[in-house]
Structure 1
Amino acid sequence: MSVLLLRLAGPLQAWGSAARFARRTTENAPTKSGVLGLLAAAEGRERDADLSDLTELRYGVRVDQPGTRIRDFQTAHHFDSDKAMPLSERFYLADAVFVAAVEGDPALIGRLDEAVRAPVWLPYLGRRSCPPSQPLDLGVHDDADIVTALGAVPWQASDWYRHRHGTSPELALLLDCPSGASPDQSFRDAPISFDPRHRRYGLRGVVADRVPNPSVEPASVHDPTSALGAV
C-alpha cells in the first residue's frame, strides 16, 4: 500500500457532514467526503462519476493546528427578481492546519498525487470560498501504513502558533475505524454520490489516536545505574 499526504491550510476551512436548511456547520477536522471530493475534482471527475475506487481508500487526518470556530451571516438576492433569500448562518474554522492522508493501491495513489500537483479544477477546503494558502501535496509514502506516514511528516503548524502555544508533544489523529473494531464516533461523510440531483453519504466509523510530534526531539532517558557498568 501507498499513502498520499495532503497539507490542508488556509485562512478559512469548512468541512460539513450535516446541514439543515440555512444553517451550515463545520466539523473540527476535514471530512472524508470533503477530501475525496477535492481529489475527484483534481482528477477532473464529473459529479456523477463513479466513486467506488476512492471510497475504498483508508482515510485519516492529523490535527497540527486546530484553528478557531467562527460564525458568519450571509444574505443573497435572486439575480433576476432581486428577491431576498433566507438569512444563512455559516460556520468556519479559521487559521487551522491539518495533514490528511489516503491509503490504498499504489497505482491509484500515484495518479491522485499527479492530479493534486496539476489539478483539473482548483481545490478548495470544503467550500469554494475557502482556498488553500499553501501547496497541498506533501508527497507519497510507499510501503507504509497510514499511521506511520502521518507520524513521519514534519509538524505543519504556523510559526505564530508555535510561538504562542509552544510545541505539542503529541498530535491528534482521526482514522477510519478498522473492520471489526468499535468506533469512537461516527460521521455521515462516506460519499456514495456527489451528483447534485441526489447527493448520498453513508455513515463512517472513526477512531481517535495520537502520534508523537515528529518535530520534537525524543527526550533522553537517564539511567542512574549506568555508571556501575564501568566499575
Structure 2
Amino acid sequence: MSGEAGLLLRLAGPLQSWGERSKFNERDTAPFPTRSGVIGLLACTLGRRRGEDIGDLARLSLTVRADRPGVLLRDLHTVGGGLPARHTVTTAEGKKRPTAAATLLSHRYYLADAAFTAALTGPADILQACAAALREPFWPPYLGRRSCPPEGPLLLGEFDDVHRHLVELPLARPRRGTASTVPVVFHSDRPLTHLAPTTAGTDNGSEPTGQVNDQPLNFHPQRRAYHSRSRYQRTVHLPADRCHGLGADYLKALATYLAPRPPRPESSPA
C-alpha cells in the first residue's frame, strides 16, 4: 500500500462513540473509529439519506492511528420520565407504556478526549467527491453519534503518499518521560506491514487480530445490514519528539507540518 494517494482525517472531540455491538438499552463503543462509522460520516457530508446506496463508499479502505485512545465513559440515559402519558415512549404494539414503566433506561458508552488520525484510500473520483463534501458538508458531520461533533479541522488534506504522512504527522498527545520513542497503535481493514520497519519483538501487522462486524451494506433504519471483516492491528514505536501535547500547541505543530513547502531549487548545469 506504500505510495497510495488518499485523504487524511482528524477524528477528535470531547466525546465520540463508534457502536460495535449495540443492542436495545446497551449502546457500546469500539475503542477506535469503525468502518461503518466513518463511512456514515462521509455519507452524511455527501447528503446521502438513510437507505441510499453506499456501495461506492464501501470500496474505500480505512487505516486509523490512535493518537490518544481516550477514556471510556458510561452515561446513564433516560427517556420518557416525568412526561404526561401521551408523550411517553410508544411500545411495539403502538400503545403507551404504563406509568410505572414509562421511563426507559439505557447505558451509553463514549470515548472521552480521544483523538485519531484516519487515512482513506480508494478510487480517485470517490476520494475527490469525499474531500469536497468534507470541506463543504451537506449535513454536519459527527463522530459516531449526532451528539458528538468533531473539534478543529476534520479534513487535513489530500496526499500522494498518505500512509507515510499518517505515520509522520504530529501526534496529539503530551510527551511523558525521557524515552526516545512512544508506542502508537494502528488499526486497519488491510495488513499493516507497510507502515514502518518491524520493531524487534512486535507484530508487523501481517495477520488479522480478529473479526469485526462493521462493513456496512445498508443504513436504512428498518433494513440495516453489515458484513464482518478482518481487523488488523499493529503497535509502531514512533519518535517521541512527534508528541506535541494538546490544544493550541498541537494545532500549531499540525499547521506547520501541513504548510506548503517551497520547491527545491533546480541545480544549475555544470
Using the size of structure 1 for normalisation, the TM-score is 0.83
| Counterpart pick for 1:148 among 136, 160, 164 | 164
Matched, 1:128 2:143: no
Query: C-alpha separation between the residues in 2 aligned to 1:13 and 1:212?
Result: 25
Query: C-alpha separation between the residues in 2 aligned to 1:165 and 1:72?
Result: 33
Structure 1 letter corresponding to 2:211:
S
CA displacement, residues 168-206 of structure 1 (integer Å, 9 cap, x when unaligned):
62321001135xx74211110000000112101110111
1:67 deviates by 0.5
The 8 Å contact of residues 47 and 196 in structure 1, kept in 2 or not, is answered as yes
Aligned residue for 1:41, secondary structure, equals helix
1:165 deviates by 7.2
CA displacement, residues 146-170 of structure 1 (integer Å, 9 cap, x when unaligned):
532421322133xxxx056788623
- What are the ranges of 5 or more consecutive residues in structure 2 without an aligned counterpart? 89-96, 192-205, 243-270
Query: C-alpha separation between the residues in 2 aligned to 1:133 and 1:34?
Result: 17
What residue in structure 2 maps to residue 208 of structure 1? Answer: 233
Query: C-alpha separation between the residues in 1 aligned to 2:21 and 2:103?
Result: 21
Query: C-alpha separation between the residues in 2 aligned to 1:114 and 1:58?
Result: 18
The 8 Å contact of residues 19 and 25 in structure 1, kept in 2 or not, is answered as yes
Structure 2 letter corresponding to 1:147:
H
Query: C-alpha separation between the residues in 2 aligned to 1:92 and 1:18?
Result: 14
1:50 deviates by 1.1
Q: How many residues align?
A: 209
Matched, 1:54 2:79: no
Give 1:95-134 correspondences, 5 Å limit: 95-134=113-152
What residue in structure 1 maps to residue 263 of structure 2? Answer: none
Give 1:1-231 correspondences, 5 Å limit: 1-77=4-80, 80-82=86-88, 84-142=102-160, 144=161, 147-157=163-173, 162=174, 169-178=182-191, 182-213=207-238, 216=241
1:76 deviates by 0.9
What residue in structure 1 maps to residue 258 of structure 2? Answer: none
Query: C-alpha separation between the residues in 2 aligned to 1:39 and 1:214?
Result: 32
Quick check: which has more Rg, 1 or 2? 2
- What are the ranges of 5 or more consecutive residues in structure 1 without an aligned counterpart? 218-231
Query: C-alpha separation between the residues in 2 aligned to 1:165 and 1:122?
Result: 39
Query: C-alpha separation between the residues in 2 aligned to 1:215 and 1:137?
Result: 25
The 8 Å contact of residues 175 and 240 in structure 2, kept in 1 or not, is answered as no
Query: C-alpha separation between the residues in 2 aligned to 1:124 and 1:91?
Result: 16
Query: C-alpha separation between the residues in 2 aligned to 1:68 and 1:209?
Result: 20
Identity of aligned residues (%): 41
What residue in structure 2 maps to residue 224 of structure 1? Answer: none
The 8 Å contact of residues 151 and 212 in structure 1, kept in 2 or not, is answered as no
